[in-house]
Structure 1
Amino acid sequence: MSLLAGGLVGAALAFMATQSIQAGRSAPALAAALWPLNADAFAHRAAYQLQGKITAENLAKAQNDALWALRLEPGNVVAARAMATVALNNGDEARARRWLVNSERKSRRDLPTQLILIEFAVQHGDVKGALVHYDRALRSNRQSAAILLPVLIPALDDPAIRAEVIRLLAAKPDWRANFLLQLIGTSRSADTIYDIVRTAGLRPSDPLELERLQGAIQRLVALGSYDQARKLVPTHDARLIRNPGFEATNDYPPFDWQIVADGDLAGVIEPGETASRGNVLHVEAANDRKGAVARQFLTLGAGHYQLKFVSGGNGRADGNPEIVLSCDGTKREILRAVVAAGEAARRNALRFEVPSDCRAQWLAIEGRSSLAEGGGRPWLDEFELVRL
């Protein structure tokens, strides 16, 4: 639970100092002296005096300034918050809480007030209360995300906190997109990423939400949580190879095809020579280039398999495409085969074995440039993977 606080009172005080300097242009004390009937000037001078080393003299001055500001403007949020800070430094938490509640009633946009209220809730074991103030701060102040999200995201490893945040996200607050981006990019907990994204109600029809979903899938794969990553893919495909005929869009890499387009080395999906053929993957490599033009991530269990596919368009004696299957995380290959030459469509079948210590695999189609001129344009289609 203490993870939800993470020194937010300190962050609040630092923010107050910056805010006070900005409010007084450069010197809050000078601003108050030059404008003695302005409540904001005295309120910010009070807040500014509560920075750094706190002394009895500073507390007294801050309290006098804050009270004067409240006389001039009873609804001054900064002054009410300064009074709460004075009470905190005097060890009177009950009085500080009353001032903070008063401050929040006047405006929920005051970030330091929300930060201190979060810390109060955390100290009393009130997860829901702390997250209410997280939500209010994130909704009302753009600067809050830089302070709060680095504290909130590690705290989500606690299932109780995670459940409450999931409840907040169900309302689709405007901070959700930024939160998900930071969560996916920084969290090292696969369970946290999976639980949050699974329940976030992301719509693949929305380009931004599709991007978040893709990022979560790829992050879970990188963390080695393959089953959770696959469960986030909204389109179920019982086949061992997704989009085997290149007819659909590849929206969910690495479980869908990752197509390379790198100048002299590229995989190009386009219609085949006949209408009945549909789309095919053309393998293009030139100028001594060699490497993968398409890859797909697989999670095959240990055992024997057969990979079938159709090839054609290749009349060259060299530079034929290759099919490579390797274990994820290592360079160990369990299959490498050169696609047989031939202009006409032909069916191919390759057998291989997945060892028990190869939890996941990369299926790659590699292109190789040819020394010969001409010789057609190799293509592949109709992949099928069966367990024997």
Structure 2
Amino acid sequence: MLRRAAESELAAGRIDNAAALSRDALVRSPFDVRALRVLGLTEARARREDAADDILTLAGNWSLRDDPTHAWLVERRLRRGDYASSFAHADTLVRRREDIQPQVFQLFTLAAAEDPQRSLPVVARLLAADPPWRTAYLASLNHTPQGLQVAANLALLLEAGRTPFTNDELQRLYSALNHVGGIGSIQTVRGRLNRPPLDTAVTNGGFDETDHPGPFQWRLYEKAGIVAEIVADDLRPSNPALRVDYDGYATGTIVEQLTYLTPGSYRFTAVVRSETGSPPARLAWTLSCATGGGDKASIPTGISGAAANTWVNLSGRFEVPAACTAQWLRLETRADDRRTPSSVWFDQIAISPVG
């Protein structure tokens, strides 16, 4: 009852009464966290902030669930430039309360943008612990140029640790960078992270690697008349490959991924197998500039005289012009005026410089 009275007096601004009542409450119940918090806040209102800091630090250590205590400590430590302690108390708050996440996230981002040398490592350490708010915070960074810069720096800091950006987190970052700064922004961050490795022109060309983020990973499309899936090869069950069912009439992209090739001559290679029908004449691998402009290179998938259900080599040559800094590699349809259902397999997709 004394503690509730002390809280009421503090809320009414009667500081001396609140201090006296909270001390009486603590005499009777020395471990009453809320009474201790009221006492600490009365010291702060009386401008005895060092004493308030000692008292409220004790209250915060006693209870991780006392929000007013941790909120005061966040502000106090931040004014003193102690990011580690301030953000640790902020972490305590956002683990429990989703309603205050936007304000705390803004605090993290503003500090990381304006004082990156001191605050970014602190935010990275919090994220490295994989807190329940990590996904929400990283998603919040993808909406502004300032947030994207912070997200890119955090990705670099976390990459060498035990909890680097997941493929989903990195894919969302790449997508946001593309929306704000274009293809070049993605390449800058990818180059520093080396995810996926820069020395690979086609990511997951064997369809057996899942640990890569989009858009540098195969994106499969499905629509009426087109079904694409990565499944075990029925002739070699230990080997996954791309299987396409196509009705010969629908139009569209079947699979795609983004790649970065420097200007010059290249050779596209793959292996292909017709399972049913005659799909090669109706499909083609294409390479087009992601930034627009330039001619689209097209490599038909048909192999003259190839036997059914036999893997055969596919090859084609193309040029990347000087103004084309990034490219989309796609498998596209070449529709006929009537339906001719067929099934085809692809594997070992690769691009290599000529010479």
User: What is the TM-score when the length of structure 1 is the normalising length?
Assistant: 0.70
Q: 1:311 to 1:126 in 2, by over 3 A?
A: same
Name the CA distance, whole Å, in 2 between partners of 1:230 and 1:144: 37
- 8 Å Cα contact 1:315/1:341 also seen in 2: no
Q: Does 1:188 align with 2:154?
A: no
Name the CA distance, whole Å, in 1 between partners of 2:241 and 2:206: 7
Q: Does 1:374 align with 2:340?
A: yes
Name the CA distance, whole Å, in 2 between partners of 1:179 and 1:289: 42
Name the CA distance, whole Å, in 2 between partners of 1:191 and 1:317: 43
Name the CA distance, whole Å, in 2 between partners of 1:69 and 1:340: 83
Matches within 5 A, 1:20-39: 38-39=1-2
- Counterpart of 2:148, as a letter, is R
CA RMSD of aligned residues (A): 3.7
1:265 matched residue in structure 2? 226
2:166 matched residue in structure 1? 213
Q: 1:106 to 1:341 in 2, by over 3 A?
A: closer
Name the CA distance, whole Å, in 1 between partners of 2:289 and 2:139: 25
- Displacement after TM superposition at 1:278 (Å): 4.9
Name the CA distance, whole Å, in 2 between partners of 1:74 and 1:164: 34
- Displacement after TM superposition at 1:277 (Å): 11
Query: Structure 2, unaligned stretches of length 5 or more?
Result: 142-146, 178-184
1:131 matched residue in structure 2? 87
- Counterpart of 1:161, as a letter, is S
2:352 matched residue in structure 1? 386
2:57 matched residue in structure 1? 101
Query: Structure 1, unaligned stretches of length 5 or more?
Result: 1-37, 51-57, 204-211
- Counterpart of 2:337, as a letter, is L
- 8 Å Cα contact 1:285/1:369 also seen in 2: no
- Counterpart of 1:350, as a letter, is G
Q: Does 1:120 align with 2:76?
A: yes
- Counterpart of 1:241, as a letter, is V
Q: Does 1:326 align with 2:288?
A: yes
Name the SS for the 2:174 alignment partner.
Answer: helix
- Displacement after TM superposition at 1:233 (Å): 6.6
- Displacement after TM superposition at 1:250 (Å): 6.3
Q: 1:245 to 1:218 in 2, by over 3 A?
A: same
Matches within 5 A, 1:164-203: 164-168=122-126, 172=129, 175=131, 177-186=132-141, 187-189=147-149, 190-202=151-163
- Displacement after TM superposition at 1:319 (Å): 7.0
Q: 1:277 to 1:372 in 2, by over 3 A?
A: farther
- 8 Å Cα contact 1:254/1:296 also seen in 2: yes
Q: 1:76 to 1:274 in 2, by over 3 A?
A: closer
Q: 1:83 to 1:214 in 2, by over 3 A?
A: same
Q: 1:284 to 1:319 in 2, by over 3 A?
A: farther
User: What is the TM-score when the length of structure 2 is the normalising length?
Assistant: 0.75
2:321 matched residue in structure 1? 355
Identity of aligned residues (%): 22
- 8 Å Cα contact 2:196/2:203 also seen in 1: no
Q: 1:68 to 1:181 in 2, by over 3 A?
A: same
CA deviations on 1:348-387 (whole Å, 9 max, x unpaired) are 4333333344332221112355433436324433322111
Q: What count of residue pairs does the alignment treat as equivalent?
A: 331
Q: 1:70 to 1:387 in 2, by over 3 A?
A: same
- Counterpart of 1:281, as a letter, is L
Name the CA distance, whole Å, in 2 between partners of 1:94 and 1:129: 15
- 8 Å Cα contact 1:266/1:283 also seen in 2: yes
CA deviations on 1:49-75 (whole Å, 9 max, x unpaired) are 35xxxxxxx445544553454344333
Q: 1:356 to 1:96 in 2, by over 3 A?
A: farther
Name the CA distance, whole Å, in 1 between partners of 2:200 and 2:62: 59
